[in-house]
Amino acid sequence: MREFTAVSLFCGAGGLDIGFEQAGFKTIWANDFDKDACKTHQNWSRGNVFYYEKYHTISIT
C-alpha cells in the first residue's frame, strides 16, 4: 500500500493531523507559533523532533 504524506501549516495541537494519520497519512512537517500547542502536539505524536525558535515553532517528523 502506498503511504501518503502531508504537511500541516499552523497545526495548533494537531487535531487535524490526528485525523489524517488515522486515515493513513503521515505528517512530515507541521508548524505553529504557539509553543504550548506544539508541546501538546509533541505529546501525542511520539517520535517527532521539535525545534523552537524565538518567533515561530516548527516540528519535523
Residue 55 has pLDDT above 60, yes or no: no
How confident is the model at residue 59, as a pLDDT? 61
Residue 30 phi/psi, 5-degree rounding, is -145, 145
Quick one: average pLDDT of 16-25? 91
Give every strand in the sheet of 57-60, ordered side by side. 4-9, 25-32, 57-60, 49-52
| All cell numbers assigned to 47 | 517520535
> pLDDT-based confidence at 50, cuts 50/70/90?
low
Sketch the domain layout of the chain as residue ranges: 4-60
> pLDDT-based confidence at 52, cuts 50/70/90?
low
pTM for the whole thing? 0.70
> pLDDT-based confidence at 58, cuts 50/70/90?
low
The CB-side HSE value for 19 (13 A sphere, CA atoms) comes to: 6
